[in-house]
């Protein structure tokens, strides 16, 4: 018997969802429901500065308004909690210990400014290694006495290929294309890459549907999942929705966020617009998420980004 499908919503409650977030949530939900799988809601609230509990409340309410339900998560509970990343610190500590025991980690004292100046993608020295890698034990001890350290993982000289359900093949050699990457910042904040792997792994997620902007993170996640002893899920990266000037929609600019969308439209009209934009229907008409799921097929979804011409 085929393994039961487990999908997830993994939104960051750092603002009200915008139309782009809604579009990937809708696709993730339709795919899972069409396969009679289980949906998990996990709130990715690691960034305590930006994530507010009011946004978590809005998220939950907005998903409910859209008719997108979940089987496990906040409100419903389930066997894979906690469902808020801010409560998962001990699980991330344990994952770091696993990686440490494999000799894959080293401490890093780079400041944010140094990290941002570094290339490519955060490792400034040749061959993707951070200069902190070359410090001697004595130098490490001296630095540690002065200030806290972050933690980096050694990127292997190995290619990981995503067989994406919509975007096709995407490969990266982690050492050359990404370099060693941070799993924990020196201020103690957990990196998205680590948290998402620990949570997708321990929650038994088999299908990840999310925006195409995260495709380039996926080889790193395939590596971490493997090292943590988990099978990679099936990945499907969905098209981005662009503003008429070609910009990506953003929460910060409050582009077409749920407050505005709920004022302008009913849930059926909003779902109908998205379905048409994504290629799921041949014309625009009001439809519920449940009706859409009944007849859902990935082969109809367009892989290319879509430009919005107003709502």
Tell me which residues touch ligand GLU (CB under 6 A).
Answer: 10-12, 44, 196, 210, 214
The bridge status of strand 150-153 relative to strand 181-184 is: antiparallel
Nearer to ligand GLU, 259 or 264 (CB): 259
Please tell me the distance from the alpha carbon of residue 281 to that of residue 46, in angstroms, as a whole number: 37
Nearer to ligand GLU, 251 or 273 (CB): 251
* DSSP class per residue in 21-88: HHHHHHHHHHHHHHTT-EEEE-B----TTT--HHHHHHHHHHHHHHT---SBBTTTB-TT---BGGG-
The distance of closest approach from Cβ of residue 157 to ligand GLU in the complex, given in angstroms and rounded to an integer, is 25
102 assigned to active site: no
The distance of closest approach from Cβ of residue 16 to ligand GLU in the complex, given in angstroms and rounded to an integer, is 12
C-beta of residue 38 within 8 angstroms of C-beta of residue 71: yes
Nearer to ligand GLU, 84 or 210 (CB): 210
Nearer to ligand GLU, 44 or 164 (CB): 44
The distance of closest approach from Cβ of residue 46 to ligand GLU in the complex, given in angstroms and rounded to an integer, is 9
Distances in whole angstroms, Cα of residue 51 to Cα of each of 12, 32, 56, 59, 309: 7, 27, 8, 11, 30
Nearer to ligand GLU, 163 or 284 (CB): 163
Q: Which of 193, 208, 232 is closest to 95 using CA atoms?
A: 193
Contacts of 35 (CB under 8 A, 6+ apart): 5
The distance of closest approach from Cβ of residue 232 to ligand GLU in the complex, given in angstroms and rounded to an integer, is 13
C-beta of residue 192 within 8 angstroms of C-beta of residue 147: no
Q: What pairs with residue 280 in β-bridges?
A: none
The distance of closest approach from Cβ of residue 226 to ligand GLU in the complex, given in angstroms and rounded to an integer, is 17
- Residues designated as active site: 251
């Amino acid at each position: 018997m085929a393994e039961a499908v487990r999908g997830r919503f993994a939104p960051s409650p750092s603002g009200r969802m915008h139309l782009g977030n809604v579009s990937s949530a809708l696709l993730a939900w339709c795919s899972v429901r069409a396969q009679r799988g289980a949906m998990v809601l996990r709130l990715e609230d690691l960034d305590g500065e930006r994530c507010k509990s009011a946004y978590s409340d809005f998220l939950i309410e907005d998903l409910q308004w859209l008719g997108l339900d979940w089987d496990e998560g906040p409100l419903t509970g389930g066997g894979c909690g906690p469902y808020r990343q801010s409560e998962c610190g001990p699980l991330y500590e344990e994952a770091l210990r696993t990686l440490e025991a494999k000799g894959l980690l080293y401490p890093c004292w780079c400041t944010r400014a140094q990290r941002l100046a570094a290339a490519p993608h955060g490792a400034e020295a040749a061959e993707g290694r951070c200069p902190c890698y070359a410090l001697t034990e004595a130098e490490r001890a001296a630095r540690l006495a002065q200030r806290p350290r972050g933690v980096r993982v050694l990127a292997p000289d190995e290619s990981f290929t995503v067989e994406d359900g919509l975007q096709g093949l995407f490969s990266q050699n982690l050492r050359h294309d990404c370099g060693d990457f941070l799993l924990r910042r020196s201020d103690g904040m957990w990196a998205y890459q680590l948290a998402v792997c620990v949570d997708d792994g321990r929650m038994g997620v088999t299908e990840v549907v999310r925006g195409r902007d995260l495709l380039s993170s996926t080889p790193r996640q395939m590596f971490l999942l493997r090292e943590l002893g988990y099978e990679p899920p099936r990945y499907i990266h969905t098209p981005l929705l662009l503003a008429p000037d070609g910009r990506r929609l953003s929460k910060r600019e409050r582009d077409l966020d749920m407050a505005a969308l709920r004022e302008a439209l009913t849930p059926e009209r909003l779902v109908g617009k998205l379905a048409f934009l994504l290629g799921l229907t041949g014309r625009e008409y009001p439809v519920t998420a449940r009706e859409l799921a009944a007849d859902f097929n990935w082969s109809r979804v367009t892989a290319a980004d879509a430009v919005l011409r107003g709502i």
